[in-house]
Structure 1
């Protein structure tokens, strides 16, 4: 390491600075993706000194890219690039490459986009609503069927014979007669 001489209006103890010059650092890269309904967000973040440049190699259309940089107190810079894919289904199973350019060298970070079970929120809501509707209809039919059976069993049969009402109570196995005036 070279000695660094510092010119200052404040006298130094030995005339030399105790600080180290900023050394380049290799980039630390994170690559991940998230599915949200029918949209896919792929994030590539690289932190290094000097600031790295992040770019993408992706096949397809309907892509939007946004990049932001943050300078840290230790002299490193984090560059985060977010790639938004409108038609996420078209990218499932395909490879996405994040390229990081740092000190003249390009390093590629690859990820294959996998989505276990593909569904959308509207489809899921439709299926749940249909299941709830079928359960309610089943409960209603069951209740109505048992209600009619209970009425037939407990309701006495009644019919008019001349001026007499004849009632037969099935639950008591008895017949009663009422004469009308």
Structure 2
């Protein structure tokens, strides 16, 4: 089973994966080699955090030179190589940026075709835009494809945005273009 975890920056994607991995390790006698995480998100911190917390975890970085072109990350080849190297592999988490998630999912469905689940972690701004029905088209499409939607509200900025007045003048983003 593959689980795509997507959402905007600071929405709790890595936290969600860590929580799931902790549960897996607590209930499994042989977690090493059975769970993999593929990261298409930028930043060393995620990989270092996962490696330190779970030494037997299969961890791969997907090089994503452009968020508009996720096929350049070569997800199908990375998945096949991970599976071939680890025949006991049972669960794969793929953390992808929100803007590239649709294309990653399209490529996965067309080329790989394994069973999958989509977890979408919403930031406070996304959650508010959703409530106000002001999502951008790619956001709405990703929400429609999500099997699970999680709103993480653990940081002060998220709390402030979620409590803000919901009038149109306080929308989370401005859709007007400069002249």
Band the TM-score falls in, shorter-chain normalisation: under 0.3
- Name the one with the larger strand percent: 1
The higher relative CO (CA closer than 8 Å, separation ≥ 6) is in 2
Provide TM-score, normalisation by structure 1: 0.24
